[in-house]
Amino acid sequence: MAEQNADPEVVFSLEKIYVKDISYEAPHAPQVFLEKTAMEVDMQLGIEHGAINPAEGLHEVVLSVTVTARLDKRTAFLAETKQAGIFRITGVPESEMTKVLEIACPNILLPFSREMINDLVSKGGFPQLLINPVNFEALYQQKEEGEQQDGQAAH
């Protein structure tokens, strides 16, 4: 007789991908195009997530990418995108769900954000900007360690 598997089947699928917000500014154009100094580029990431329909396992994940380029202390450009996706996730233990939402989902969204930022920057008249791959697992670990340290400091 075959043994029954009590664990539910894990389902992980991308149901929809979309841009939730997008912004581009070049406040000092056209003067910044005449400068010869090297640009300093800073990138910030953010991840937000929430259940849309828990009964069906639907979750929205939003990856925010903000890139600021400066020449000296003046902003050359500021590009921001909030790339979102609706994911169907079922059969994952509750203890692992945050990990899936903050590691697996952003890994899927990042290439879309990368393309959008590059398009904005290029169409703004600046050289191509390629965002390097991001290790979301390492970022998750850092966040977890930070929360543990904050919890210990509160005692």
Indicate whether 127 belongs to any domain. Answer: yes
Is 111 a domain residue? Answer: yes
Within a domain: 41: yes
Asked if the structure places residue 71 within a domain, the reply is yes
DSSP code string of the chain: -PPPP-SPPPEEEEEEEEEEEEEEE-TTTTGGGG--SPPEEEEEEEEEEEEEEGGGTEEEEEEEEEEEEEETTEEEEEEEEEEEEEEEEES--HHHHHHIIIIIHHHHHHHHHHHHHHHHHHHTTSPP-PPPP--HHHHHHHHHHHHHHHHHHT-
Instruction: List average pLDDT for each run of 10 residues in the chain, which is 155 residues long.
Output: 61 97 96 90 96 96 97 94 98 94 97 97 94 94 82 58
The reply to whether 92 falls in a domain is yes
Amino acid 146: pLDDT: 81
- In this prediction the pTM is 0.87
CATH number at residue 18: 3.10.420.10
Tally of domains in the chain: 1
User: Is 45 among the domain residues?
Assistant: yes
142 domain-assigned = no
Query: Is residue 128 in some structural domain?
Result: yes
**Residues spanned by the domain of 43:** 11-133
pLDDT at 2: 47
